[in-house]
């Protein structure tokens, strides 16, 4: 009788299906394959430690533990040292090293999957289970190794995009505990000579509390003062006061055309002059600027997935007819509006049958919606789109070295309701009083100081409300301020009248301002039924301006939703 020889290893592991699947049943082999697959998914290196290839398994397990430790450390730092964490993660070298590390991890995990298939001994599995395991393994390879490789690619793209957007200068120091940034929405549309800022805002943030004040400067603001250290004081020692041509909207182009030599070290002399004008007008030192063209503005909102606002009035814009699909006049209805980039741009820029101050309020509303609806989840899920849209920023001098602390400050700012102040009606008198043509800088500086002093007294106070109550509200008379640059003398040296190229219509590149009507009411159709978009479109074709003004009279009342 012949007795088969039995090795010591077979004797020790003969009944161990995990280590010796030859003697196991088909069910046990299937179970073993599932266990090894789950180990490679959840604890990379675990399958190799359990079955074989222990050298490879120990290395993989050490890397796995290191990755988990790094992730937990990052999570702890996010809640305790978020500024430091974000500062590190936005540095070019760290982002480059991170993309290399992710690529290495992707390759290592792929090798582990291949070795796991070898350890499973797929040829010994039941025939019906083999294709299932193959499909599942390929899917998990794509999910894990492919996901890490894609993350590394995205991180490297982000590094390149940030380098193209932000400057490589030194970090900025706060002034009296505040950061002040000039935010410009610029347009170089058809019929314009050069780029012109249509939306001018200053965002002032408290360095400690992250409370925010948004100052809005009308584009037809005249006699703007320059900061004491501005080279433009040599040209305009008493402010930007040459008359109709010296509304602040024109400053950018004028400096580029005639005075760029006064800013020999500036990459963008026009925006430097705009910062000097905002600084002197508000008596706040500007730390940096962000200038976005209108196309970039729309693309950025699309990259965020759109925004949601609450509008209290009808807002006219140009679009495709809801029934005929023909291009023409349309209206945004009051209520909750979910806006994509193009719609948000139309909503923010509209001033037909309204006035510039309602437009400024809607611009502020859209900005707040963008800030309030931006979140880490948006950044993670739409990183590629946001980076691509960010490259459409016309310019910014914000340093990349400070990007982490600025992101942390922006995240904290979402916890507070910003205060707001417009340098014109209704925050400074009635629209007919032409404050933007004849600004009282002592009043402006007093109000700025009051808003800064009011910080910390409650987020429910928007800052301008109490002061606005002390001022007369806009009257129902024609809105002279929206066309004040064309109708009122700015200084004694001003030409007697505006030329067509310097009218407010040419500045805006839009329709001319219409005279605003009385305070908003419950506007209805003649038969008493509610207004509809189709009714307003027909009324506009019939030239019923009074009906349209009444419908649009409340469209400056807007708030972020969601």
Q: For residue range 129-151, what is the model confidence (pLDDT) as tens digits?
A: 989 999 999 999 999 999 999 99
pLDDT score recorded for residue 259 = 94
pLDDT score recorded for residue 242 = 83
pLDDT score recorded for residue 376 = 59
pLDDT score recorded for residue 195 = 66
- β-pairing, 335-339 vs 393-396, is unpaired
Mean pLDDT across the chain: 79
Query: Which one has a higher pLDDT value, 281 or 509?
Result: 281
455 pLDDT band (50/70/90 cuts)?
Answer: confident
Residues 468, 510: contact at Cβ < 8 Å? no
**What is the Cα–Cα distance from 182 to 394, expressed in whole angstroms?**
13
Burial 406-442, CB ≥16 within 10 A → b, else e: bbbbebbbbebbbbbbbbbbbbbbbbbbbbbbebebe
pLDDT score recorded for residue 401 = 82
Residue 461, pLDDT above cutoff 70: no
Residues 289, 182: contact at Cβ < 8 Å? yes
Lowest-confidence region among 17-21, 56-60, 440-444, 536-540: 17-21
- Provide mean pLDDT across the span 402-415: 82
pLDDT score recorded for residue 447 = 95
Residue 516, pLDDT above cutoff 60: no
Q: What is the dihedral of CA 123, 128, 131, 137, to 10 degrees?
A: -80
Three-state helix/strand/coil letters over 403-435: HHHHHHHHHHHCCCCCEEEECCCCCCCCHHHCC
Degrees, nearest 5: CA angle 332-338-344? 65
Task: Give whole-number Cα distances, 384 to 162, 174, 300, 313, 478, in Å.
Answer: 12, 31, 11, 35, 47
Query: Which pairs with CB-CB distance under 8 Å and at least 24 residues apart come from 184-188?
Result: 184/271, 184/274, 184/289, 184/290, 184/291, 184/292, 185/291, 185/292, 185/293, 185/294, 185/297, 185/363, 186/252, 186/291, 186/292, 186/293, 186/294, 186/394, 187/293, 187/294, 187/509, 188/293
**What is the Cα–Cα distance from 112 to 48, expressed in whole angstroms?**
8
Degrees, nearest 5: CA angle 467-471-476? 130
550 pLDDT band (50/70/90 cuts)?
Answer: confident
Query: Which one has a higher pLDDT value, 423 or 191?
Result: 423
pLDDT score recorded for residue 460 = 45
State which H helix or E strand residue 102 sits in: helix 92-120
pLDDT score recorded for residue 446 = 95
**pLDDT tens digit string along 153-202?**
988 888 887 777 777 777 788 888 999 999 888 765 444 445 678 789 99
Q: Which of 208, 210, 213 is nearest to 177 (CA)?
A: 208
**pLDDT tens digit string along 263-316?**
998 888 999 999 999 999 999 999 999 887 766 778 888 888 888 998 888 999
pLDDT score recorded for residue 472 = 40
Residue 513, pLDDT above cutoff 70: no
**What is the Cα–Cα distance from 416 to 76, expressed in whole angstroms?**
24
What residue spans define the domains of the chain? 8-165, 179-560
Query: Which one has a higher pLDDT value, 350 or 167?
Result: 350
**pLDDT tens digit string along 71-111?**
999 999 988 888 788 888 888 888 999 999 999 999 999 99
- Collapsing DSSP to helix, strand or coil, 194 comes out as coil
- Provide mean pLDDT across the span 58-63: 93
pLDDT score recorded for residue 484 = 35
Residue 467, pLDDT above cutoff 50: no
**What is the Cα–Cα distance from 344 to 308, expressed in whole angstroms?**
9
Q: Sign of the CA dihedral 322, 328, 333, 339?
A: positive
CB atoms within 10 A of CB 148: 20
Q: Which two tokens stand for residue 199?
A: 């939306």
Residue 475, pLDDT above cutoff 80: no
Query: Which one has a higher pLDDT value, 19 or 212?
Result: 212
Query: Which one has a higher pLDDT value, 412 or 431?
Result: 412
389 pLDDT band (50/70/90 cuts)?
Answer: low
494 pLDDT band (50/70/90 cuts)?
Answer: very low
Query: Which pairs with CB-CB distance under 8 Å and at least 24 residues apart come from 51-54?
Result: 51/18, 51/19, 51/119, 52/19, 52/119, 53/115, 53/119
**What is the Cα–Cα distance from 314 to 335, expressed in whole angstroms?**
9
pLDDT score recorded for residue 479 = 39
- β-pairing, 558-560 vs 307-311, is antiparallel
Residue 510, pLDDT above cutoff 50: no
Q: Which CATH architecture has domain 179-560?
A: 3-Layer(aba) Sandwich (3.40)
Residues 425, 222: contact at Cβ < 8 Å? no
pLDDT score recorded for residue 203 = 92
pTM greater than 0.75 (yes/no): no
**pLDDT tens digit string along 225-253?**
999 999 999 999 999 988 777 889 889 98
Q: What percent of the chain has pLDDT over 90?
A: 30
State which H helix or E strand residue 214 sits in: strand 212-216
Q: Which two tokens stand for residue 451?
A: 């808003």
pLDDT score recorded for residue 215 = 94
pLDDT score recorded for residue 392 = 60
**What is the Cα–Cα distance from 231 to 273, expressed in whole angstroms?**
8
> Which of 231-240, 362-371, 428-437, 545-554 has the highest mean predicted lDDT (pLDDT)?
231-240
């Amino acid at each position: 009788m012949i007795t088969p020889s039995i090795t010591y290893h077979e004797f020790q592991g003969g009944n161990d299906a995990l280590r010796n699947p030859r003697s196991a049943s088909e069910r046990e082999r299937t179970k073993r394959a599932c266990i090894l697959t789950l180990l490679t998914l959840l604890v990379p290196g675990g399958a190799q430690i359990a079955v074989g290839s222990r050298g490879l398994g120990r290395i993989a397990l050490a890397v796995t533990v290191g990755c988990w430790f790094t992730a937990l450390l990052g999570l702890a730092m996010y809640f305790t040292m978020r500024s430091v964490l974000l500062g590190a993660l936005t540095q070019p070298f760290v982002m480059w090293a991170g993309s290399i590390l992710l690529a290495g991890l992707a390759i290592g995990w792929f090798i582990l999957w291949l070795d796991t298939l070898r350890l499973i001994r797929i040829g010994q599995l039941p025939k019906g289970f083999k294709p299932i395991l193959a499909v599942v393994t390929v899917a998990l390879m794509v999910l894990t190794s492919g996901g890490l490789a894609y993350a590394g690619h995205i991180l490297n793209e982000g590094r390149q995009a940030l380098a193209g957007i932000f400057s490589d200068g030194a970090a900025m120091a706060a002034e009296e505990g505040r950061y002040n940034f000039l935010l410009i929405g610029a347009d170089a549309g058809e019929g314009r000579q050069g780029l012109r800022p249509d939306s001018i805002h200053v965002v002032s943030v408290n360095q400690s509390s992250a409370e925010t004040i948004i100052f809005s400067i009308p584009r037809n603001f005249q006699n703007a003062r320059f900061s004491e250290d501005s080279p433009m004081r040599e040209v305009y020692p008493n402010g930007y006061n040459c008359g109709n041509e010296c509304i602040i909207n024109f400053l950018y182009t004028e400096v580029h055309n005639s005075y760029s030599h006064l800013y020999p070290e500036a990459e963008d002399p026009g925006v430097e002059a705009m910062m000097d004008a905002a600084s002197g007008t508000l008596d706040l030192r500007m730390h940096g600027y962000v200038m976005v063209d209108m196309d970039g503005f729309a693309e950025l909102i699309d990259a965020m997935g759109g925004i949601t606002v609450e509008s209290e009035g009808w807002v006219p814009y140009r679009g495709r007819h809801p029934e005929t699909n023909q291009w023409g006049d349309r209206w945004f209805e009051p209520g909750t509006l979910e806006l994509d980039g193009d719609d948000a741009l139309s909503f923010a820029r509209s001033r037909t049958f309204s006035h510039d101050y309602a437009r400024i309020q809607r611009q502020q509303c859209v900005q707040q919606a963008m800030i309030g609806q931006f979140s880490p989840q948006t950044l993670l899920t739409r990183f590629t789109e946001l980076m691509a849209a960010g490259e459409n920023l016309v310019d910014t001098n914000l340093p990349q070295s400070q990007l982490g602390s600025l992101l942390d400050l922006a995240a904290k700012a979402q916890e507070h309701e910003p205060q707001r102040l417009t340098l014109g009606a209704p925050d400074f008198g009635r629209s007919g009083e032409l404050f933007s043509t004849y600004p009282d800088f002592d009043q402006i500086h007093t109000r700025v100081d009051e808003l800064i002093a009011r910080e910390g007294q409650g987020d429910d106070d928007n800052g301008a409300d109490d002061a606005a109550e002390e001022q007369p509200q806009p009257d129902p008379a024609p809105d002279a301020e929206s066309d004040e640059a064309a109708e009122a003398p700015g200084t004694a040296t001003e030409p007697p009248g505006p030329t067509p190229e310097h009218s407010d219509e040419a500045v805006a590149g839009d329709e001319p301002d219409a005279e605003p009507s009385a305070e908003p009411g419950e506007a209805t159709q003649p038969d008493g039924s509610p207004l509809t978009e189709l009714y307003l479109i027909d009324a506009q074709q019939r030239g019923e301006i009074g009906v349209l003004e009444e419908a649009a009279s409340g469209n400056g009342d807007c708030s972020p939703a969601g």
